[in-house]
Amino acid sequence: MNPRRRKILFSVIFIVAGVGVATALVLKAFQENLLYFYSPSQIASGEAPDSRLFRVGGMVVDDSVVRDPNSLKVSFDLTDTAHTVTVQYNGILPDLFREGQGIVANGQLQDGGVFVAKEVLAKHDENYMPPEVAEALENAGAEVQYGDYKTGK
């Protein structure tokens, strides 16, 4: 390889590596803002902001969904298995909303520790199978999780 080409090759490696390192540093600095949602445990430990809107993600606890028969008001508990937070919402829920489903709610934490949501989104997991297979799995005693409540570190 002649010296000129080697010089360009090193410049190319330098560009790729340089941009890589710079990006890694920037992402590290903004780690917090890149989290799309906080977990109930992060709320419990006080990591979540208390004066502004933020998102909380977790699984809807079984038998915790209470619907107001006269309106769209609904209340349910979200869990990440370690901690739980109660969410109140007034609006249309996505098709995938159900007990055991992974949910991301956007709203504000009230003084009583209740999270009042302005928006509720469903987070489906990476599992795809026909209903019969899901049923067979459930009958076999395997736990079928409807949602993915894993959060960033």
Partner 1 sequence: MFGPLDKYAAPERFYLLCKSMGPWLSAISLLLFLVGLYGGLVYAPSDYQQGDSFRIIYVHVPSAWMSMFVYVVMAVSGAMGLIWKVKISDAIARSCAPLGAAFTFLALATGSIWGKPMWGTWWVWDARLTSELILLFLYFGYMALQAAIEDRRMAARAGAILALAGLINIPIIHYSVEWWSTLHQGPTVSKMDAPSIHTSMLIPLLIMFLAFKLYFFAVLCMRARCEIIEQEKNSRWVKQLARGGVDS
Residues that bind partner 1 (CB under 8 A): 5, 8-9, 12, 15-16, 19-20, 23, 27, 31, 34-39, 57, 92-96, 104, 119-135, 146, 148, 150-152
Nearer to partner 1, 20 or 49 (CB): 20
CA dist., res. 137 & res. 70, Å (int): 37
Read out DSSP for 97-123?
A: --TT-EEEEEEEE-TTS-EEEEEEEEE
Tokens standing for 115? 């999270």
Cβ at position 116, least distance to partner 1 in Å: 17
Cα–Cα nearest to 144, from 122, 66, 133: 133
Nearer to partner 1, 109 or 149 (CB): 149
* 83 neighbors 40 (Cβ within 8 angstroms): yes
DSSP 127: -
Nearer to partner 1, 68 or 138 (CB): 138
Distance of CA 58 to the CA centre of its chain: 7
Cβ at position 119, least distance to partner 1 in Å: 8
Nearer to partner 1, 30 or 113 (CB): 30
Cβ at position 135, least distance to partner 1 in Å: 8
Cβ at position 97, least distance to partner 1 in Å: 8
Cβ at position 113, least distance to partner 1 in Å: 21
Nearer to partner 1, 61 or 148 (CB): 148
CA dist., res. 12 & res. 39, Å (int): 41
